[in-house]
Amino acid sequence: MSLRILLAVAVMSALVTANQSGPEPQTPPSTERPAPRLETAPPALQVTPLVATQTPAPPQAALPPGALSPRNANYSIEVRLDPEAKTLRGRERIQWRNISAQPTSELQFHLYWNAWRDAESTWMRERRLAGTTRRPQADAWSAIDLSTIRVRGESGTWHDLSAHTRFIAPDDGNPRDRTVLSVPLREPATPGASLDIEIAWTSKIPRPFARTGYVGDYFFIAQWFPKLGVLEDRDWNTHQFHSATEFFSDFGVYDVAITLPRRFIVGASGRQLSRTDNSDATTTHRFRGEDIHDFAWVASPDFIVITRRFEHPRLPPVTIRLLLLPEHASQADRYFGAVEATLSRYGEWFGPYPYEQITIVDPAFQSESDGMEYPTFVTGRASWLAPGDVQRPENTTAHEVGHQWWYGMVATNEFEHAWMDEGFNTYATARVIDESFRPNHVEVRYFGGFAPWAFKDLPVSRIDNDRLEGYRLNAETDAAWIPTFTYWPGTARFISYNKTALWMHTLEKQVGWPTMQRIMSTYFERWKFKHPKPADFFDVVREVTGRGYVWYFDEVYRSSNTFDYGIQDFTSVRQDSPSEGAGLTGFTYRTTVVMRRYGEATFPVDVVTRFENGDTVKESWDGQDRRVVYTYERPEKAVSVQVDPERRLLLDVDYTNNSRTLAPRTGEASLKWALKWMAWLQDAMLTYAFFS
Amino acid sequence: MTFMLALPLALVVRGAIAAHLRDSLMAVRAADGANWDWWQEFSAQATGLGTTFTPSVIGVATTFDSVSSVFDGRVPIAPLAWALALYLAGWLFVSGGIIDRYARQRPTRTYGFFAACGTFFFRFLRLGALVGVVYWGLFTYVHPWLFGQVYETLTRDLSVERTAFAWRVALYAAFGLLVLFVNVLTDYAKARIVIEDRRSAVGALAAAWRFIRHHPGRVVGLYGLNTLTFIALVGVWALIAPGTGGGVTLWIGFAMTQLFVVTRLLIKLQFLASETALFQAALAHASYTAAPEPLWPDSAAAEAIARTTM
């Protein structure tokens, strides 16, 4: 076992350094010292997105007329679902344009469903590293097999390349991984050149893996078709399917015809153009999505379809199509409430949702398709028993709808920089939930997870929705700057989601929400329908704030150090020898505060000491040294001291040690909670003894 | 007894909480109400008993948690398991005295009570060992089979949570019936050991089974009525269970909680009392019951009876 772990660590380490098509070289950590907080008052709130023009806009490929994106990877797909055999049979025609600066002599395709072909794919190996050792059942596996692939280049001649394909493993060299297919071209595709590609394939649909598969009559079909990688200026960026990362692809137009038995109700990316009944008791549903970079669909005979119109005085209208399962029929308003709040808030804060429609899927039990985003098509999360004051369903739906901005439109490479969409979106979702959905309480589910109980005494805060709890235990597992697919599989999410949300919220507290909103809206406006990299976001921060915040990103992005400031010692002792600070009493108190930086990471913090007469003294500590001592000679005895009292540094992994009081109520608190715990144990004893 | 056994462990938890809170201002919020920020920090570093300090300690969740633990087959951590084992042993000890008291239907006083406890303790220990093996088999083999293999087979193609929950409830019922059957069997075996002065645990179990087999309606009906009483108590407790306030409300809450514990105990006693009464009413009679010798000073009637039989 230990050998396996050592090997895994070695493989992961090698991945970091040997990634063939990895990210751009990273700049070394800066040595810039922390800057003081912004002295100037933040500008007034802008409710419409701002487009900063201080730095040049990024290179922009010529957009087709009426297009929002380059539309360089356009798919026309015909697919037929056989629900009994659990198979797909499909044909696709891809019109692809080389928008990179380099010619290419090959094409690279993702064949994601081969990740679940056997236990030796990279996805499955990483899942085992993450601790999932249970082997899928025999009928759970999937596969995608190409029968033909033809390419027509500038010469106009079709070339059948089916016999020349080969699987490659650019990330880890795993010869058993078949999730990336390389297809050599007869004629290199020069920059600007267009290719027509025709592919026929068949697929075996898995039982649910990674939000894909079937359970009963419910089919959630994602990452299902042969899909081109992204040709960048350096090379193809086509990563293998990894267990802890998601996807990356170019924008285009998807025209998809789905044929399946008539009883099924279908939802998909884009909007439905037609529904044609065929003579063989099947129906063909045709969907079209423009300026999107992926296409997923769902089919079930049980859906209730509810449609509402989102209207907002300053944002374009959006049709919300909800595919709801009967057992959650009473929760329709909760879904719509979350979608509308997100469309509204994100639209006001970052920029409008530009598509005509968004489809929300209420996922089936055991489908594992809950909480996932695809362009204009997301899945929520509902439970049959869902207390109204526990906003978990709203949180999930808002998060996935929010991905339309951070992933859908600002299309970052989720293989390499997952934090740029997951983290940004977690941060923004927490803001939406905090503003729009209260009360929100902690929930514990009993009896196999079916029976919820909401704790009215435990409100969920915005920091909880930033996911501080998960980060606290995993703060040092990885530095965010390394490619996400090389994060340790079991803890990747804590860095991508939790840490990023926390440092974004911390940055918001540092610069103020109006400035933060300008950062995000500027970044969105500039990078929507493009593929930004981390430096592009940092550039926007520098541009909007006038500061680089390099020191900050060194800590939160380029290192895995933890933040932990605390009070090491706090005394306030009467000095009977009168000194300069003595008042009428003739004596003073010498108050000594010893501040300590327990973590490796640094951040400027305030230290506030409170005295018996209500006076407070605030010190601004740059947080650099390991410790600092403050001494006060005053006629009043000190009462308490607190570092970072306004809780600006949300990444502090131990906030309990941030304060100290000379009139502690620790005894009272510990007694109260110990008595409650004792009653819990007494209850348990009675329950167990009942059966004796 | 629950109080005495839980108290030392609660002191350990109190120490762990105090050590983490130190003299911080977080303690102020934790004293006045619930401080979820601090609670999560505490949980992140907690070990041993501290890991069991979860929101389930609040209000009626204590009962949900303990009943759910039993039905979901969760294994308590070692210190709790030891505490539970000691409590079960203590409960076995006093059970003899309790049933003896109910069987006599008159005060037995301290001496009589503990004499009966001592008389039946080792018989009950043998019975407990037998029943423990049965419970061990149920929780080690039957529970994982029902809620693993059977549940997964039943729900493998289910896409409706409500149906899956119905299956789970059905399995809870099936498993619960097994557990309750063992429980009822044990209760009546105890009653027969005391009332009939039986020494063999196996014989008592067989006799209990014969009694249940011959009076199924009355046994099940009585058990159901008692169970309804327990459900009613939990329902009331869900409405009035104290929150997380500090100061005076802390002590009021503590008193209410102890009252709930006592009431739960009374309901268990109600099970034993009513089952003993049912057995005596249905089967026991003067020549059949090995009634314990009346002891001086007992009632005048007992004294008179003793004189006439000399």
Q: Spell out which residues of chain A touch residue B82, defining contact as CB-CB under 8 Å.
A: none
By Cβ distance, the residue of B27, B66, B165 closest to A666 is B27
- Partner residues linked to A444 by β-bridges: A453
Q: Cα separation of A10 and B176, whole Å?
A: 49
Q: Spell out which residues of chain A touch residue B125, defining contact as CB-CB under 8 Å.
A: none
User: Quick check: is A321 in a domain?
Assistant: no
Cβ distance of A669 and B31 shorter than 8 Å: yes
Write down the number of H helices and E strands in chain B: 13, 0
Write the ipTM: 0.89
Among candidate residues A80, A76, A74, A75, the one with its CA nearest the CA of residue A258? A80
Q: Do A266 and A138 reside in the same domain of the chain?
A: yes
User: Quick check: is A268 in a domain?
Assistant: yes
Asked if A553 contacts A651 with a C-beta cutoff of 8 angstroms, the reply is: no
Q: Do A587 and A655 reside in the same domain of the chain?
A: yes
Q: Residue A7: which pLDDT band, with cuts at 50, 70 and 90?
A: very low
By Cβ distance, the residue of A300, A672, A687 closest to B70 is A687
Cβ distance of A670 and B15 shorter than 8 Å: yes
* A359-376 average pLDDT score: 95
Q: Do A152 and A281 reside in the same domain of the chain?
A: yes
Q: Residue B295: which pLDDT band, with cuts at 50, 70 and 90?
A: low
Q: Do A554 and A427 reside in the same domain of the chain?
A: yes
Q: Residue B105: which pLDDT band, with cuts at 50, 70 and 90?
A: confident
A483-518: pLDDT as tens digits: 999 999 999 999 999 999 999 999 999 999 999 999
Cβ distance of B168 and A450 shorter than 8 Å: yes
Which region among A28-37, A111-120, A649-658, B39-48 has the lowest average model confidence (pLDDT)? Answer: A28-37
Per-residue model confidence (pLDDT) at position A668:
92
Domain CATH for A256: 2.60.40.1730
Q: Do A387 and A504 reside in the same domain of the chain?
A: yes
User: Quick check: is A363 in a domain?
Assistant: no
User: Quick check: is A679 in a domain?
Assistant: yes
Q: Cα separation of A548 and B197, whole Å?
A: 87
Cα distance from A32 to chain B (closest Cα, Å)? 32
* A617-628 average pLDDT score: 96
> Six-digit token pair at A418?
């997952």
Domain closes at, from A506, A536, A560: A560
Which residue matches tokens 């300590």? A596
**Is residue B7 scored above 80 in pLDDT?**
yes
Q: Do A502 and A576 reside in the same domain of the chain?
A: no
Q: Do A5 and A78 reside in the same domain of the chain?
A: no
Q: Do A190 and A125 reside in the same domain of the chain?
A: yes
Asked if B127 contacts B186 with a C-beta cutoff of 8 angstroms, the reply is: yes
* HSE-CB for A242 with a 13 A CA cutoff: 29
Q: Do A152 and A279 reside in the same domain of the chain?
A: yes
Cα distance from B228 to chain A (closest Cα, Å)? 15
Domain closes at, from A539, A560, A581: A560
A177-212: pLDDT as tens digits: 999 999 999 989 999 999 999 999 999 999 999 889
Q: Which residues neighbour A658 within 8 Å (Cβ) at sequence distance 6 or greater?
A: A565, A566, A567, A642, A643, A644, A652, B24
> Six-digit token pair at A150?
């033809």
User: Quick check: is A362 in a domain?
Assistant: no
Most confidently predicted of A45-59, A280-294, B74-88 = A280-294
Q: Say what angle helices B78-104 and B161-195 make with each other, to 10 degrees.
A: 50
Q: Considering chain A, what percentage of its residues have pLDDT values greater than 70?
A: 90
pTM score, two decimals?
0.88
Q: Do A284 and A184 reside in the same domain of the chain?
A: yes
R_g of chain B, CA atoms, integer Å: 23
User: Quick check: is A37 in a domain?
Assistant: yes
Question: How does DSSP assign B194-247, residue by residue?
Answer: HHTT---HHHHHHHHHHHHHHSHHHHHHHHHHHHHHHHHHHHHHHHH---S--T
Three-class SS state of A324: strand
* A440-452 average pLDDT score: 94
Distances (CA, A) of B80 to A684, B49, B75, B86: 9, 8, 10, 10
Q: Does B42 touch chain A (CB under 8 A)?
A: yes
Q: How many domains does chain A have?
A: 4
Query: Residues 540 to 599 of A: which have CB under 8 A from any B CB?
Result: 570
Q: Residue A550: which pLDDT band, with cuts at 50, 70 and 90?
A: very high
Q: Considering chain B, what percentage of its residues have pLDDT values greater than 70?
A: 91
Domain closes at, from A511, A537, A560: A560
Q: Spell out which residues of chain A touch residue B34, defining contact as CB-CB under 8 Å.
A: 455, 457-458
Q: Does B164 touch chain A (CB under 8 A)?
A: yes
Cβ distance of A655 and B37 shorter than 8 Å: yes
Backbone angles phi, psi at A342, to 5 degrees: -75, -45
* A321-348 average pLDDT score: 97
User: What are the residue ranges of helices labelled H in A19-148?
Assistant: 122-129
User: Quick check: is A320 in a domain?
Assistant: no
Q: Do A46 and A150 reside in the same domain of the chain?
A: no
Annotate B125-164 with b (16+ C-beta within 10 A) or e (fewer): ebbbebbeebbeebbeebbeebbeebbeebbeebbbbbbb
Among candidate residues A376, A363, A371, A417, the one with its CA nearest the CA of residue A396? A371
DSSP assignment letter at B56: G
Q: What range defines the domain where residue A245 resides?
A: 68-300
Q: Residue B300: which pLDDT band, with cuts at 50, 70 and 90?
A: low
Cα distance from B284 to chain A (closest Cα, Å)? 24
The distance from CA B209 to its chain's CA centroid, rounded to whole angstroms, is 21
pLDDT averaged over chain A? 90
Per-residue model confidence (pLDDT) at position A59:
52
User: Quick check: is A314 in a domain?
Assistant: no
Among candidate residues A570, A589, A592, the one with its CA nearest the CA of residue A664? A570
DSSP assignment letter at A561: -
Domain CATH for A494: 1.10.390.10
pLDDT averaged over chain B? 87
Among candidate residues A63, A395, A432, the one with its CA nearest the CA of residue A252? A63
Which residue matches tokens 């196999």? A448
Q: Considering chain A, what percentage of its residues have pLDDT values greater than 90?
A: 84
Domain CATH for A657: 2.60.40
Indicate the burial class of B102 (C-beta count within 10 angstroms; 0-12, 13-18, 19 or more). Answer: buried
Q: Do A511 and A617 reside in the same domain of the chain?
A: no
Q: Does B92 touch chain A (CB under 8 A)?
A: yes
DSSP assignment letter at B139: I
Which residue matches tokens 């209207």? A311
Which residue matches tokens 């010469």? A155
